[in-house]
Amino acid sequence: MGDEAVNKNNKKQRNILELVWDWFASVKVGISLIVILALGSALGTIYPQVNAIPHPNPNFYYKDTYGTLGDLYHKFGLSNMYTSWWFLTLVLLLGISLVIVSIDRGVPLYKSLKNQPVARKVIALRADRLYTNKETATAADLTALGQALQKRRYKIRTVDGALLAEKGRLPRFGAYVIHAGLIVIILGVFARLIPGWYYDEMVWLKEDESKTISEVGFTVKNTGFQLEYYEGGDRVKKYETDLEVYEGAQKVAEKHLIVNEPLTYNNTLVFQNSFDPTPMFKNGKVEMIDRKTEQSLGTFDINFIDPQETYTVGPYQLKLTNYFPDIKVDAEKGVYTSSNEPYNPGLSFEISGPNLAPTQQWMMPTAPFVEQMLGQEYPFTLKMVDVSLFNMTGLLVHRDLGIPVVYTGCAITLYGLVLVFYFQHRRIWARLEDGVLHIGANTNKNWLGFAKEFNKAVEPLGATAAVLKSKLAKQPENQPEPPHTTESETGREGTQA
Amino acid sequence: MAKTAGSTRVLTILVLLVAAVGIIFAVVKFNNKEVVVLNKGEAAPAFTLQTLDGNQASLADYKGKVVLLNFWATWCEPCRDEMPALQQAYDKYKEQGLVVVAANLDENNITIKGFINQYQLNFPILIDKGREVALDRYKVGPIPTTFIIDKNGVLQSIEQTPLTLMMIEDKIKPLL
Amino acid sequence: MNLLDVSGFLYGTAFFAYLAASILYVIGVTGRKIKTQTPGAANRWTNWGYRMILAGMLAHAGAITTRGIYGGYIPVSNMFEYMSFWAFTIILAYVVINAFYKLPSLGAFVAPVGLLVLAYASVFPQDHKPLIPALQSYWLNIHVTTAALGEGILTISFAAGLMYLLRTTDLTKGSRSAKFLEFVMFLFLALLAFVVTASAFAGAGYSHQMFADTPQEVTYKMPPIVGPTGTELGSQGSLAGIPLPLFNAPSWMNGNNASVQFNTIIWTLLSVAVLYLVLRLLARQPLSAVVAKWVRNLDPDMLDELSYRGVAIGYPVFTLGALVFAMIWAQEAWGSYWSWDPKETWALITWLYYTAYLHLRLRHGWEGAKSAWMAVAGFVVIMFLLVGVNLIISGLHSYAT
C-alpha cells in the first residue's frame, strides 16, 4: 500500500511539473507575455519616470505638473515602474519561457536531425513537395548526384543504395539562437543587481572641487571646465572638463573629458554628461568708492565660494556680517538664500573706520536695482570691477559590469536573426530501388529558390525537372508522413511566389 | 514527437526556480535600498562637531540632558520657519534640562553667523562639514530632521516635519 | 548659392517627382483602357511612374548628400531631416523590392506614402543647426540611418498588407473590416489634411503670439479656435467674422503648448472632415472601394507573401538599427545603454509588436487577413514611435523642444 501512495505522489508531482513546463513552453503564453510586456512598457511613457523629472521631490512634482491624473500615476507606482517587482517579474517570466521553449523544442529537433535516417522509403519520397525520378538508373547515378550536390556545399551521407544531402542545419536552429541571445541579454540586465556590478550617479563639481565616491573607490576632481555656445548663445557647442582621478592622495588618472568620450578607471566610466547652465560666482575684485568725493579708496578680493570675514580697504575695515550665496528678497519671507551655491551672492557688510560710525551696507552684484533701492543712503559704493564666473560640470559616474554580457547577447541575437531570415535548411534524399533513382527534397523556407537549385542538380543526370507541388496538396492516403519534428518542416515559414 | 526527458525538465525547472528566487530577492533588496533609517530605542550615534568659535562639541557632552538634535541649513525654508519654535522651546525648558543642538549642513561660518543674528538664536550651533554625521551616521534624508534623544542617550523619536512649540513640548515633556 | 540651397532645391525636386510618380501610378492602375490588361502588369503609365520614382530618389539622395556635406554630418538630427530620410528609405525599399517582385500596383501605394511622409517632413523647421555635443558621434549616423532603413522596409509590408486587405475584403457589406479599412483611408487623409493646413497657414505667414496663464508666451501657427486656459473668448482676433478663440482649453490640460496642440488637432479634424466629405461625394462610394480598384485581380497570396517578406527583411534591420546600434550609441553618449527613455521604450514596443507578428504568423498560422491587419497596425505603431513620441512625449531623446 505504501508503494501505491508513493506512485500516486510521483504521478501528481510529475503532472504539476508537466503543467508548469507546458505552460512555459506554449507559444500562446510566450506571445501573451510579449504583448503584456509591450503594453506595460507603454504605460511607463505616459508621464516621465522619476529618473527623468527635473524636480527632486516626486511626491509634489506629478501632482503639480499633471494634476490628479499625474498624482494617481505616481501613487500607483507607475512613475517608477521599470524596476518595479511586477515589471521585472514579467521580464523574468519571459526569460524562463525562452529557456524552456528552447529546450522543449530545440533538444528534440537536434536529436531527430542528428539521428535522421539516410534511407527513406520511396513512398515517403514520392510525397515530398519536390520529387523527381530517373528510370534505368544505376549506382553511378547515385554517386554522380552526390558529387554534384557536394559541389554545391551539401554534406553527403550515404548508405547502401541511398544518400542524404544536407546543408544549412544550423540555420534551422536560428530561432533558438535568437532565444539564447535574448536570455544572455536578460542575464546581463539582471546582473545589475549583483552588488558592486552597477553604479550610476551624477556628480556635480565646481571648479577645483573634488568628491570621493566610496562605491567605486576613487575621488574625482574638476580642475577646469570649458563651456562654449554657438553664436546667438542659445545652443551649446561644447562642454568639456579637465578631470583628475585620485585614490587617496595619489593621482591615478586624468583626462580631458568630452561628451561621448569618457574616462575609464577601475571598470568605471566617468562621462561628461551635462552642466549647470547657470553660472556661479568664483572670485571678484571690488572697488570701494567714497560717494561724496567719488574717490576710489581701494579694492579688495572676495572669494564667493568661501568668503573671509574681514577686509581692509585703506583706513576702513569691512566685516562680512551675513552672506547669502543665492539671495532672494521677498516681501513676506524676508531676505534668505534659496540654495547653497553662489548663483546670486548677496553680501551684508559692516563698515567701520575713522570718522565713521559702523554702518551696514548691502552688496548684490546680480541685483543692482535692489542694491540701489536699499542703498540710497550708503556712504560708499561697492563696485565689482572684475569677476570670474564658472559653471558647474555634471559628470556621470557609471559602472555596469553587465555590459559585455549584454553586448554578447546582442551579437548572438543578431546572428540568430541572420540565420533565421537569410538562410535555410535544405535536404535532398535519393534512393535507388529496382533500377529507379527516386529523389525527394525538403526545405524550411524559400521553396522557389530551392526548386531551382534542385533541378539544376538533377537534370544533368537525366531526371525530369521537378515541379513544385502546391503547399495545399493533400498527402496521399496511407502514406507515412515525411520525417519532421516540428510544423516548420512542412514549409509554413513562407513561400516565395 | 520526442519529448524532453523528465529528468531534463526537473533539472531545468529547479535551476530556473533557484535563479528566479535569487533574482527576485535581489530586486526587492535593490528597490528597498534607500530605506535605511535609525530606529527608536537605539543609542543615538556619537558625534563630535565644531562650533562656530572653533571649539568642539560631542553628543556625550549633553548626557543627562534631553537633546533636540536638529539638522538644518539656511537655504531650507521649513528649517528657517521652525527656528523660532526651537528657540522658544530652548528658552522655556533649558532650566529643566533641555538642550537644542542645531547641526548645520556644511555652510560657511559667515552665513551661519548672519542667520543666528537675524533670528537671535542662542542654543548651540554646530557645523557638520562634509555632512558626514548627517548622512552617514544619522541617515538624514530631507531636512529639517530632528532627533529627540533622552537623558541616557537613547533615541526616542525622529521628526521629519517642521516643528511647532506644541509638537516639541509633546515630545520632550515625558522625557524631562 | 551654397550647398544648403542646392539641397533645398533637390528636396523640392524629389517632392514633385514623387507627386508625378503617384499620379502616374494611379492612372496606370485605374485607367479605363487598362481594364483589359492582365492584372498587375506594367504599362506605359506605370513605367513612367517608376522612372519618376527613380528620378525622385536620385534627387532625394542628392538632397541628403548636399545637406550632409554642408553640415558635416548625415542629416538625421531633427524632425525635418529624419522624416525626409525615412521617406527616402521607403522609396529606396520599394525600388529594391521592385527588382525582386515586379508589382507596379505596389507603386500606387508606396509612392503616395513616401510623398506624404516627405510632405509631413516639410512642415517642420528646415533650418540647419549645428549639432549639440551629445549628437556629435559617428554612431549617430549608423544608428539613425539603419533604423530608418528598417522602418522603410517595414512600411512596404504595411503597403502590401493594405493592398491585400483591399483585395480580399468585401467592401460592399458594412463589415467591421470594411469599416476599419475606410478608417485607414481617413487616417491617411487626416495626415494629408494636416500637412495641407499647416503648410497653407505657414505659407501665408500666419503666426499669433499670446500671453496667457502659462509661464511663457504661446505661439499659434493656426488661428486659435481654442485658446489657452483663462483667455478671454473673442479677444484674439477673428476668422471670417467669427471672434476667436471660441473656447478655451480645459484646465486639466497641462503644459505650455497643450492648447496649441489641441488647436492643431481641431484644425486637422475640420480639414479632414471637409476633405473626406468632398472626396466621398465625388466618389459616391467608400474611398476604400475606390482604392480597392487599384488592386483588383491581383493574386492575394502574393500580396500576403510580400507583406510577410517586408517584415522578414525589415525586422532584422530594425533590430540592428533601432535597438542594438541605439544601445551602443546611448552607452557612448549618455553612459547607459538603456534608460527607459520614451523613444527607446517605444522602439522596444515596436520590436515586441513585430516579434509577436512573426510568432503569430510562423507558429500560429496567422496568414492572410490577420497578418495583413497586423502589418497595417504595425505602421501605426511606427508612426507613434516616430511622430507621437517626438511631439507628445518629451524627453532626452526627442526632437521636441
The predicted-structure confidence for C93-114, as pLDDT tens digits, reads as follows 999 988 887 788 899 999 999 9
Measured CA to CA, the distance from residue A47 to residue A350 in angstroms comes to 51
Gap between the Cα atoms of A41 and C345, Å rounded: 7
Q: Is C348 left (phi over 0), alpha (psi -120 to 50) or beta?
A: alpha
Partners of residue C256 in chain A, C-beta under 8 Å: none
Domain count for chain C: 2
- What's domain B48-175's superfamily in CATH? Glutaredoxin (3.40.30.10)
A480, pLDDT greater than 50: no
Q: Report the CATH number that the domain containing residue A225 is assigned in CATH.
A: 2.60.98
- Band the pLDDT of B2: cuts 50, 70, 90: very low
pLDDT digits (tens, 9 = 90+) for B36-86: 678 888 888 999 999 988 899 999 999 899 999 999 999 998 999 999 999
**H or E element, residue A67:** helix A58-75
Please tell me which residue of chain C has the smallest CA distance to A198: C336
* Residue C40, pLDDT score: 58
* Cβ atoms within 10 Å, residue C121: 23
| Chain B neighbors of A485, CB-CB under 8 A | 1-2
Q: What is the model's pLDDT at position A493?
A: 33
* Same-domain check for residues C121 and C178: no
CA distance C170 to C176: 10
> Looking at CA atoms only, how far is residue B175 from chain A in angstroms?
34
| Residue A86 and residue A158 share a domain | no
C195: cell is 500637412
Size of interface A-B (CB pairs under 8 A): 98
Nearest CA distance, B45 vs chain A (angstrom): 21
Contact (Cβ atoms closer than 8 angstroms) between residue C228 and residue C251: no
* CA–CA dist C219, C211 (Å, integer): 9
Residues B70, B79: Cα–Cα separation, whole Å = 9
Interface residue A217 vs chain C (CB under 8 A): no
Domain boundary among C285, C315, C336: C285
Query: Residue A323's domain spans which residues?
Result: 281-383
Catalytic residue among B66, B79, B101, B149: B79
Phi first, then psi, for residue C168 (nearest 5°) are -105, -10
Q: Which of C164, C156, C171 is nearest to C314 (CA)?
A: C156
Contact call for A421 and C312, based on CB within 8 A: yes
User: Among residues A473, A384, A395, A442, which one has the least CA distance to residue A172?
Assistant: A442
Distance, first Cα to last Cα, chain A: 65
Total number of residues shown for chain B: 176
Looking at A375, A409, A443, the residue that finishes a domain is A409
Choose the closest CB to B114 out of A84, A92, A323.
A323
CA distance A274 to A395: 7
Contact predicate A219/A422, CB 8 Å? no
Question: Does C383 map to a domain?
Answer: no
More confident residue, A76 or B31: A76
Name the least confident of B53-57, C153-157, C252-256: C252-256
Q: Which three cell numbers stand for residue B120?
A: 537671535
Alpha-carbon distance of C345 to A39, in angstroms, equals: 11
Q: For residues C73 and C392, which has the higher predicted lDDT (pLDDT)?
A: C73
Cβ within 8 Å, pair B109-A309: yes
pLDDT(C319) > 60: yes
A109 in a structural domain: no
Contact (CB, 8 A) for C49 and C28:
yes
The model's confidence at residue A32, banded by pLDDT at 50, 70 and 90, is: very high
What is the predicted pLDDT for the residue at A496?
A: 29
Residue A325 lies in a domain: yes
**pLDDT score of A478:** 38
CA distance A414 to A408: 10
Peptide bond into C245 cis (omega under 30): yes
Counting residues of chain C whose pLDDT is more than 90, the rounded percentage is: 34
C111 and C184, same domain (yes or no): no
* A268 touches A286 (CB < 8 A): no
In a domain, residue C325? The reply is no
Whether the CB of A45 is below 8 Å from some CB of chain C: the reply is yes
* pLDDT at residue C32 tops 60: no
- Beta strands B125-127 and B145-149: pairing type? unpaired
Whole-Å CA distances, B156 to B60, B63, B83, B165: 16, 14, 21, 18
Instruction: Please indicate, yes or no, if residue C162 is contained in any of the structural domains.
Output: no
**Is position A6 within any domain?**
no
* C337·A406 Cβ contact <8 A: yes
* Number of structural domains in chain A: 4
**What is the pLDDT, as a whole number, of residue A236?**
85
CA distances from A209 to A309, B46, C251 (A): 22, 29, 45
pLDDT at A484: 39
CB C120 within 8 A of CB C195: yes
Question: Residue A181 falls within a domain, yes or no?
Answer: no
Which residues from chain A sit within 8 angstroms of residue B10, using beta carbons? 17
Q: Does residue A417 fall inside a structural domain?
A: no
Are C197 and C253 in a shared domain? yes
Residue B47 Cα, gap to closest chain A Cα (Å): 21
User: Which amino acid makes up residue C128?
Assistant: H
**A368 in a domain, yes or no?**
yes
C-alpha cell at A464: 525530369
Sign of the alpha-carbon dihedral angle for B44, B49, B53, B55: positive
Rounded to the nearest 10 degrees, the angle between the axes of helix A447-458 and helix A139-151 is 130
- H/E run at residue A185: helix A174-190
pLDDT at A483 over 50: no
Q: How far apart are alpha carbons A487 and C362 in whole angstroms?
A: 9
Output DSSP code: residue C232.
Answer: P
Within 8 A of A318 by CB-CB distance, chain B residues are none
Higher pLDDT, C360 or A65: C360
Residue A31 clears pLDDT 90, i.e. is over it: yes
Q: Note whether C336 contacts A400, CB cutoff 8 Å.
A: yes
User: Residue A190: its pLDDT value, please?
Assistant: 87
Q: What angle do CA A134, A139, A145 make, to 5 degrees?
A: 65
Amino acid identity at A152? R
Going by the DSSP 8-state scheme, the letter that residue A476 receives in this structure is: P
Closest alpha carbon within chain C to A408: C324
The predicted structure's pLDDT at residue A167: 92
pLDDT computed for residue A474 by the predictor: 42
Residue C350 has pLDDT above 70, yes or no: yes
Instruction: Tell me, yes or no, whether C268 lies in a domain.
Output: yes
Residue C326 has pLDDT above 90, yes or no: yes
Give the position of cell 540651397: C5
Which set of grid coordinates corresponds to residue A317? 575695515
- Give phi and psi for C368, each to the nearest 5: 65, -135
| pLDDT tens sequence across A139-174 | 888 889 999 999 999 999 999 889 999 999 999 999
Considering only the beta carbons, identify the residue of B4, B20, B77 that sits closest to A108.
B4
Q: Are residues A405 and A343 in the same domain?
A: no
Instruction: Determine if the pTM surpasses 0.90.
Output: no
pLDDT given for residue C399 in this prediction: 41
Q: What digits encode the pLDDT tens for the residues A103-129? A: 999 989 999 999 998 988 889 988 888
Answer whether residue A174 is part of any domain: no
Question: Tens digits of per-residue pLDDT, A184-222?
Answer: 999 998 888 888 888 888 899 988 888 988 888 899 999
Task: Determine the residue type at C240.
Answer: A
As beta bridge partners, residue A386 has: A285
Q: Are residues C124 and C2 in the same domain?
A: yes
**Which one, of A494, A463, A471, A493, lies nearest residue A137 by Cα?**
A463
- pLDDT band for position A12 (cuts 50, 70, 90): low
Residue A301 domain-assigned (yes or no): yes
Complete DSSP assignment for C165-176: HHHHS-SSS--H
Closest residue, chain B, to A326 (C-alpha): B75
d(CA A279, CA C115): 47
With touching defined as 3 or more inter-chain CB pairs under 8 Å, the answer for chains C and B is no
Q: What is the pLDDT of residue C397?
A: 42
Q: Which of C251, C285, C319 is the last residue of a domain?
A: C285
pLDDT at C216 over 90: no
In the structure, what pLDDT confidence band is assigned to residue C314 with cuts at 50, 70 and 90?
Answer: very high
**What is the rounded CA–CA span in Å between residue C224 and residue C238?**
9
C205 min Cα distance to partner chain A (Å): 24
At residue A454, does pLDDT exceed 70? yes
Per-residue pLDDT at A471: 62
Residues A275, A285 within the same domain: no
Domain containing residue C220 = 172-285
Q: How many helices (H) and strands (E) does chain A have?
A: 12, 22
Mean residue pLDDT across chain A: 84
Q: What's at A430, amino acid-wise?
A: A
Boundary (domain end) residue, out of C80, C103, C131:
C131
Whether B76 is catalytic is no
Name the residue in chain C with its Cα closest to that of A65.
Answer: C254
Average pLDDT over every residue of A408-414: 95
Quick one: pLDDT at residue A5?
56
Q: What residues does A384 pair with on adjacent strands?
A: A286
Average pLDDT, chain C: 84
CATH number of domain containing A471: 3.30.310
Report how far residue C36's alpha carbon sits from residue C29's, in angstroms, rounded to the nearest whole number. 11
Higher pLDDT, C32 or A33: A33
Residues C244 and C127 grouped into a single domain: no
Lowest-pLDDT range, A286-300, A393-407, B27-41?
A: B27-41
Is the domain of A272 the same as that of A399?
yes
Nearest to C336 among A398, A488, A493 (CB): A398
Within this chain, do residues A258 and A349 fall inside the same structural domain, yes or no? Answer: no
Question: Quick check: C160 pLDDT over 90?
Answer: yes
- Residue B142: band (very low, low, confident or very high) from pLDDT cuts 50, 70, 90: confident
